[in-house]
Amino acid sequence: MATISPNIWIAASDGNVEIVLKHLQNGVSPNQADDNGYTAMHAAASYGHRDLLEILVKHGGDANVKDQDGETPLFVCEKIEVAQDLIEKYKADACAKSNDGLIAAQVVEENGEFPELASYLYTFSDLEPNNGNMPKDTKLEYAQYVTPQEMDEAAGQPLLDQHRKEEIDRILALKESGVDIDDQLRQVLQGAFSEHFERNVRAREQ
């Protein structure tokens, strides 16, 4: 049997669906670990490849598979959307503990780079964040409980300012030329929502 390169762990990190599928078709398990106990599930979760995670799960990938440190893919997430998929779609246990006795929320919080993700993960446990400066509301919770009208009133301005409206108009005009505009629109709207969220949180804390 010919060797497939790169290996499944590198391919999963790169989001290389074609190569990962070849490995899976050749009988490689999505839960198979490298020398560090790292699996393709961990790699896809860490690098935010949601489409690849879905493929791995369909081929038997376990959202609760652990590496040599006892950490599941949830521990290496960097995006709330990926954590949502793991927990809500693939039944990852948000309270699973590593070999050090920590849950994913604690590890992500200690990392310090993704406070909103840590805050989201804490909502699935009875534990409280150790860092008093962590946000009390994630953007997900914020969107669920605050109406657009309340957002505008608290932040003092609408979600889309004139600059972003013009940017959206420019992107929409590209559609007539056959350009795929989905990614561009998504970036503009995500940026607008993030800025609006930050403004409103500051307004509510004053």
Q: For residue 25, is pLDDT > 60?
A: yes
Question: Is 168 in contact with 160 (CB distance < 8 Å)?
Answer: yes
Q: Which of 82, 115, 135 is the last residue of a domain?
A: 135
Q: Mean pLDDT across the stretch 36-60?
A: 96
Task: Look at residues 135, 164, 181 and tell me which one is the last residue of a structural domain.
Answer: 135
Query: Do 1 and 76 belong together in one domain?
Result: yes
Determine the pLDDT at residue 118. Answer: 92
Query: 162 and 123, same structural domain?
Result: no
CA distances from 14 to 20, 46, 48, 142, 199 (A): 10, 11, 10, 32, 35
What pLDDT was estimated at residue 159?
56
**Between residues 134 and 35, the one the model is more confident about:** 35
d(CA 38, CA 25): 20
Domain total for the chain?
2
Task: Pick the last residue of a domain from 97, 114, 135.
Answer: 135
Token pair, residue 73, equals 């893919």
pLDDT tier for residue 198 given thresholds of 50, 70 and 90? low
Q: Above 90 in pLDDT, residue 196?
A: no
Q: Where are the alpha helices (DSSP H) in 76-147?
A: 80-84, 104-111, 115-122, 139-145
> What is the rounded (10 degree) CA torsion for 169, 172, 176, 181?
150
- Does the pTM surpass 0.85? The reply is no
* Per-residue pLDDT at 155: 47
Per-residue pLDDT reduced to its tens digit, 87-132: 999 999 999 999 999 999 999 999 888 998 998 999 998 887 875 4
pLDDT confidence tier of residue 158, bands split at 50, 70 and 90: low
Same domain, 115 and 22: yes
Same domain, 65 and 109: yes
Domain assignment present for 171: yes
Residues 78 and 128 in one domain: yes
pLDDT confidence band for 143 (50 / 70 / 90): very low
Domain assignment present for residue 141? The answer is no
Q: Please indicate, yes or no, whether residues 128 and 175 belong to a single structural domain of this protein.
A: no
Query: What is the predicted pLDDT for the residue at 30?
Result: 97
Inside any domain, residue 140: no
Domain ranges, residue 53: 1-135
Round the average pLDDT of the chain to a whole number and report it. 81
Q: How many CB atoms lie within 10 A of CB 190?
A: 11
What pLDDT shows up at residue 181?
A: 76
Give the H/E segment covering residue 154: helix 148-155
Percentage of the chain modeled with pLDDT above 90: 52
CATH number, domain with residue 95: 1.25.40.20
Q: Assess whether pLDDT exceeds 90 at residue 16.
A: yes
- Of residues 146, 132, 136, 138, the one with CA closest to residue 116: 138
Contacts of 27 (CB under 8 A, 6+ apart): none
